[in-house]
Structure 1
Amino acid sequence: MTGGVCALVALAFLLPLAVSLGDRVRAEAIADAARRSALVTGALAVSTEPAAVERAVAASGGDVTTRPVVHGLDAGSGTGRATAADLDRARAEKRSVVVEVSGGAARLDPVVLGDRVAVVEVFVPDAALNRGSGLRWLLLGAVAAALVGSAVVVVDRVATRTVFATRGLIDGALAIGDGDLAARVEPTGPRELAEAGHAFNQMAERLDAARTDERELVADLSHRLRTPLTVLRLDAEALESDDTSVGTFSQAELDHLRGIRRIRQAIVTLEGEIDVLIKTTRKAVTHDAGPAMCDVSEVVRDRMVFWSALAGDQNRPHRVSGAQLRIPAPVPRAELAAALDAVIGNVFRYTPQGTAFEVAVSRRDGYVAIRIDDAGPGIADPDRALRRGASDRGSTGLGLDIAKRVAMQANGSVSIDRAQLGGASVVMLLADPEATPRQVNRFGLVGRMARDSRDQKSAERRRWPRRRPTDR
């Protein structure tokens, strides 16, 4: 492409030059013919005697074919090449004209001799009009080839530097986009690209420092949480035993012991999550580790152990489906567990006791779907519920945003719809690392789960009441 552009530029410059040189050679040949014609016209002004005219013609030089020819005398000096119409035109206009004739061009100069007009014709052959054209085109072609060759070499060197510098910026941007904040570029190429390389390195350094500061802040906050958590754990250990398998207890005593059990389980869970936060944020910011993975089914089963105990205390019917087989997902286990706790916690927080809920897992079309349905009042404004920090119920508004952030980390999404149970249906879609992801219709994947759920409920003859939707 570079060579073609250079060739076009060379042609645009050399073609007009070649035409100009050709016109100059032609003009010089016509001027020589005018000089020779002037010798004859001067002789005619002095005498029209045939002998004098012949001497003037011979004195003009040239071979026999190019000697001047005089038309309009009683005795002409030869046979010319111009036509009668050309001669009449020169006589009528009474000025010198140049006409094209066979084999070249002819200059016609009229001379007024009393009551008649003679015309002096000088023939200029094509050889004189195009003298040196072959050599001229050869030299111009050589010049064009030299210009194109040198331009290609220079442009190629410049383009190579520019492409190399641009490729470095692209690779660095892709590495930053993949999470490698240690990626840097070598500022090379033209000044503008070198400045862009320096700016890119400064941006990467600031991003790296910001992420390090953020992780340190999270780790420090986690350490600060240990003090009140330790106090809670000690107070919980000081409470009586929560064993309900020995002895006979009233309903109030059972509720009291179960409450103690839940407090201790929550404290253990909090300690584990804080340990994970501290270990994760204290790691060096490197790119040597691959993407985090976890087993969705295992995480769902583990978290439902905790929530099932609380559901039993609140008389909440619940069900888990599809969590029997291993289903991998490209998210850390702790983050997926936090997302599940955030969504299921909303069910316990914003629905009355005794409200049923269901957690279902499926794998299809390159995605893993986690669906949490409830029979509560539902969510009147799903878009507002998914916005970070938006809540009409006095909470932080970050619960569903945590789930959305985890899903987006796994190249997925979160959506809210009406559940078959009558309440809200929150669906987390995560990219399946063992399949080729593609766009999937949420209702195609979740709808099948809903149909399976509906068929099973119909078989069990179980109905849960529906309530009017309110904001969550």
Structure 2
Amino acid sequence: MRRWLALLVAATTSLVLIALLVPMALLIRSVAESGAMDRATAAAESVAVAVGTPGLALEVERVARPVTVFLPDGRTVGASAPRSDAVRLAATGRSVTAFAAGGREVLVSALSSGGTAVIRVFVPDDELTRGVREAWLALFVLGLALVVLGIVLADRLALAVTRPVDALARVSHRLAGGDLTARAEPGGPPEVRSVALALNHLAGRIDELLVAERESVADLSHRLRTPLTGLRLDAEALRDPEEAARLQARVDALERAVSAVITEARRRSAGRDSCDAAAVVRERVRFWSVLAEDQGREVSVSLPAAPLPVTVGAEELAACVDALLGNVFAHTPEGAAMSVRLTPHPSGALLAVEDTGPGFDPAFLERGTSGGGSTGLGLDIARRTAESSGGRLTVSRPTGGGARVEVLLTTT
């Protein structure tokens, strides 16, 4: 926008200057020519006074320019010059101006005792244009300076408009990236200030809607937990063990699906948050260590002593760790060892959960098809957590057997 405004002002200023300076340049040339011709005419008239007197030759010599006097008897006094048609016309008693080679000639007639004499004063082209080029150069420099000044002023004016607009664009990009605290600083022209206020109002409204959505998700969680609990109690009350187990499995699957939907809705509505990954993982490992001790599992933990911030909310990361550790307890035999390691990574933080269980085939790690009677929901939650932070989930089989799940989280 700055460039277009500068070009517009430059074009407009140039047109205005051309409209003013071109006539002025022509006027300067005309004034210069007129002055030179007036001086030549004055010189010719001063010589005409001396025609017919003994001092004619002296008067001709006093004039500092080529002067020729054509006497009626055919003689000439002064500089040599041809008797042109203009000279013959002036001999009839008329004063004329005519073009000549290399300049112009001013012809003034004067009466003498023997007839009409003609005084010719030659004006060269250099005298006709004396000072014109310098004046034109001064006009050109003045016009160029005015164009540059106009461009500079237009650039300053454009900055007053583009800076607030650029700030609005940056705020809109921050809002699009999930930073709902971004607000625009009203400034610039009234129209731009109005847009900034409208953008701030929109950001506030989005924040309000997200708060309402989080409240709705929490209410949905409470509303669904109650009927699920009732279904579970009804399934446990059945007399047929096989039917009870089948219904219990259906209720468990429904509960996991509901939990996944609620977790995903919370993740979308919570926006981009951050937490200390070391503190969250330490707390969740401490929670699961009680169950590991009951099952005789050896747990190896390696966590950094310093805080390790990541672009994932604390609740979301805790759910991810719970899903990974829950998979270990659910799909490996009691007594199988496991390890949890959180280490800094060039791209962020790397969370690795490894066990010595039977393992699984990474080729079938898709939602709902992980094998072993699992729905694959835990790994899907971990994958979504990694991707929400800009990282990735990697599943592999260690050399000694078992399974290793690595979650890469980006740092703030």
Which runs of 5 or more structure 2 residues have no equivalent in the other structure? Answer: 42-50, 82-97, 107-119, 238-251
Q: 5 Å matches for 1:348-387?
A: 353=333, 358-365=338-345, 367-374=348-355, 375-380=358-363, 385=366
Post-superposition offset of 1:211:
1.4
Q: Does the 8 A contact of 1:342 with 1:400 survive in 2? A: yes
**Residue 156 to residue 332, structure 1, CA distance change in 2 (3 Å):** closer
Equivalent of residue 25 in structure 1, options 28, 32, 35: 28
CA distance in 2 between counterparts of 1:346 and 1:157 reads 63
Select between 358-367 and 14-23 the one with higher mean Cα deviation: 14-23
What letter is aligned with 1:122? Answer: V
Q: Does the 8 A contact of 2:394 with 2:407 survive in 1? A: yes
1:107 aligned residue: 104
> Is 1:430 matched with 2:409?
yes
1:416 aligned residue: 395
Post-superposition offset of 1:12:
8.3
Once the two structures are aligned, what percentage of the paired residues are identical? Answer: 29
Q: Does the 8 A contact of 1:412 with 1:428 survive in 2? A: yes
SS in 2 for 1:107: strand
What letter is aligned with 1:380? Answer: A
Equivalent of residue 286 in structure 2, options 301, 305, 311: 301
What letter is aligned with 2:282? Answer: S
Which runs of 5 or more structure 1 residues have no equivalent in the other structure? Answer: 39-49, 82-94, 100-105, 110-118, 239-265, 434-472
Q: 5 Å matches for 1:309-328?
A: 309=294, 319-323=299-303, 328=308
> Is 1:179 matched with 2:179?
yes
Post-superposition offset of 1:130:
2.0
1:399 aligned residue: 378
Higher relative contact order (CA closer than 8 Å, sequence separation 6+): 2
2:94 aligned residue: none
SS in 1 for 2:124: strand
CA distance in 2 between counterparts of 1:98 and 1:223 reads 110
CA distance in 1 between counterparts of 2:67 and 2:395 reads 104
SS in 2 for 1:343: helix
Q: Does the 8 A contact of 1:357 with 1:372 survive in 2? A: no
Post-superposition offset of 1:371:
1.1
CA distance in 2 between counterparts of 1:124 and 1:377 reads 103
SS in 2 for 1:122: strand
CA distance in 1 between counterparts of 2:164 and 2:147 reads 25
Q: Does the 8 A contact of 1:359 with 1:370 survive in 2? A: no
TM-score after normalising by structure 2: 0.55
In the alignment of these two chains, the number of paired residues is 340
Q: Does the 8 A contact of 2:351 with 2:407 survive in 1? A: yes
What letter is aligned with 1:302? Answer: F
2:131 aligned residue: 130
| Deviations, residues 427-465 of structure 1 (Å, cap 9, x unaligned) | 1123567xxxxxxxxxxxxxxxxxxxxxxxxxxxxxxxx
SS in 2 for 1:380: helix
CA distance in 2 between counterparts of 1:108 and 1:190 reads 65
TM-score after normalising by structure 1: 0.50
> Is 1:222 matched with 2:221?
yes
**Residue 75 to residue 358, structure 1, CA distance change in 2 (3 Å):** farther
**Residue 36 to residue 298, structure 1, CA distance change in 2 (3 Å):** closer
SS in 2 for 1:65: coil
2:160 aligned residue: 160
Q: Does the 8 A contact of 1:327 with 1:363 survive in 2? A: no
Q: Does the 8 A contact of 2:323 with 2:381 survive in 1? A: yes
Q: Does the 8 A contact of 1:297 with 1:327 survive in 2? A: no
**Residue 31 to residue 319, structure 1, CA distance change in 2 (3 Å):** same
Q: CA RMSD in A?
A: 6.1
Q: Does the 8 A contact of 2:386 with 2:392 survive in 1? A: yes
Q: Does the 8 A contact of 1:368 with 1:429 survive in 2? A: yes
SS in 2 for 1:420: coil
SS in 2 for 1:426: strand
> Is 1:341 matched with 2:340?
no
| Deviations, residues 362-417 of structure 1 (Å, cap 9, x unaligned) | 423564322123542321166xx4xxx67576976653342234335556443334
Q: 5 Å matches for 1:182-221?
A: 183-185=182-184, 189=188, 193=192, 196-197=195-196, 200-201=199-200, 203-205=202-204, 207-221=206-220
1:170 aligned residue: 170
What letter is aligned with 1:170? Answer: R
